[in-house]
Amino acid sequence: MIENKPSCYYGYVVKYMNTNGQILEETMKGFDTQEYAELNLSRLLNDLKAENEIIDARIHNYYHLPSMVCVIGSSRFKDIIRSVQDNYTYKGYIVLDNAYPTDRLAKLPKEVTKEHIFRLKSLGAFKVRISDLIYVVNQDGYIGEDTAEKLLLAKTLNKDILYLEKIDE
């Protein structure tokens, strides 16, 4: 399950010139606090100062990107899907929904070709690939063909998956 990430983490960048005149750079990211990053930077600087000329040393904030959730399910559950999307948006997620529900494709003009349908299905698969979390709206246990395809892809990619209703796996 996706955990809430802190809004940022810390790191440092040190540029220095070695005894051969080469300018090098040391970078370290992933510190939870600025103080911890500063402590580690101080240790590195002490080690480097003996044989190198320090050109620049800085602490940086690195901001986490929000997690992405892809909400999948039958368009017959569009009200539930919208509610789930609103809930995740409120929690700070980037929310991706289904590509274009295939049950509505039949109502489009005749110009819709198999290529159009393929592109829309590919778009839906892409949204699953780039998401951190997949939320399946499976009201009354129903999972349609399109949703099942996306769900299989998500499982293949080892995505975190949540369901509206508990399922037996």
Render pLDDT for 6-46 as a digit per residue (tens, 0 to 9): 567 888 899 999 989 999 988 888 888 889 989 999 999 99
pLDDT digits (tens, 9 = 90+) for 76-107: 888 899 999 999 888 888 999 875 555 565 66
The answer to whether position 2 is within a domain reads no
Do 88 and 132 lie in a common domain? Answer: yes
For 26, the token pair is 């040391």
Residue 16 to residue 23: CA distance in whole angstroms: 6
Residue 161 to residue 167: CA distance in whole angstroms: 11
Do 36 and 79 lie in a common domain? Answer: no
In the chain, count of helices (H) and strands (E)?
A: 4, 7
Do 81 and 156 lie in a common domain? Answer: yes
Do 38 and 74 lie in a common domain? Answer: no
Q: Are strands 94-96 and 68-73 parallel, antiparallel or unpaired?
A: parallel
The answer to whether position 153 is within a domain reads yes
Last residue of a domain, one of 17, 33, 63: 63
Do 107 and 143 lie in a common domain? Answer: yes
The answer to whether position 55 is within a domain reads yes
Do 27 and 72 lie in a common domain? Answer: no
The answer to whether position 28 is within a domain reads yes
The answer to whether position 52 is within a domain reads yes
Do 16 and 81 lie in a common domain? Answer: no
The answer to whether position 123 is within a domain reads yes
Do 93 and 155 lie in a common domain? Answer: yes
How many domains are contained in the chain?
2
Please check the confidence at residue 108 and state whether its pLDDT lies above 80. Answer: no
Q: What is the pLDDT of residue 41?
A: 92
Q: Which domain holds residue 45?
A: 8-63
Do 59 and 73 lie in a common domain? Answer: no
Q: What is the pLDDT of residue 33?
A: 85
- Which residue's entry shows tokens 């540029």? 15
pLDDT digits (tens, 9 = 90+) for 125-156: 999 999 989 999 999 999 999 899 999 999 99
Residue 112 to residue 109: CA distance in whole angstroms: 6
The answer to whether position 1 is within a domain reads no
**Any idea what DSSP says for residue 158?**
T
SS3 87: helix
Residue 23 to residue 137: CA distance in whole angstroms: 55
The answer to whether position 44 is within a domain reads yes
Q: What is the pLDDT of residue 162?
A: 93
CA atoms within 13 A on the CB side of 5: 15
Residue 146 to residue 73: CA distance in whole angstroms: 8
Do 46 and 78 lie in a common domain? Answer: no
Do 157 and 74 lie in a common domain? Answer: yes
Q: At 157, which CATH number?
A: 3.40.50
